[in-house]
Structure 1
Amino acid sequence: MNLIRIRSKGQITLPLPVRRAVQADVGDYLVCEVRGDSVILRKAPVYPRASFDDGIWRLVGSAEDKEGREDVSVDKHKYLGDEL
């Protein structure tokens, strides 16, 4: 067990043995979950950011839509969070 102290701005330092055990490194993200009086930290999976060049946009809307939905690829900037 490791004892961790909370600093003035709510910051904590994860001891090296803990970081090694979960293979966490600088820049990695952790998910924080509260269960009762316990705090659970898990390493978060990180996926590369989507881009306009991703091949998926050539496929989106290429099939016949029998429910009358529009082709979402024309609005892909909304889904990617980018401006036109």
Structure 2
Amino acid sequence: MADERTDLIKRLAPLVLEDRSRAAAEKRSTDIPWYFININHPAMRPFYNSWLQSRGRLFLPGDLDRAEFELSLLSNKALGFVADKYKREGRL
């Protein structure tokens, strides 16, 4: 189950990034949040640090890594909703 979840997250992350990039380009605005969450928030930072350590990261991850982290925080049901969106669009 965990491997399936990890695989799904790895397949969804590039699609989420693509949507973020497209939305930002279309609006040509900084009003569009690039990320789901603020990792510097005191309630979120411990989760992010733990995630980095679990992957042996000693450097800042890239955007794809960050998208994978954010998707990893979603429940299985919420992750399924994200996957369903991309399936309906024929992108997953």
Alignment TM-score, normalising by the size of structure 1: 0.24
Which structure shows the bigger proportion of residues in strand conformation?
Answer: 1
Compare CA radii of gyration and give the structure with the larger one. Answer: 1
Which structure shows the bigger proportion of residues in helix conformation?
Answer: 2
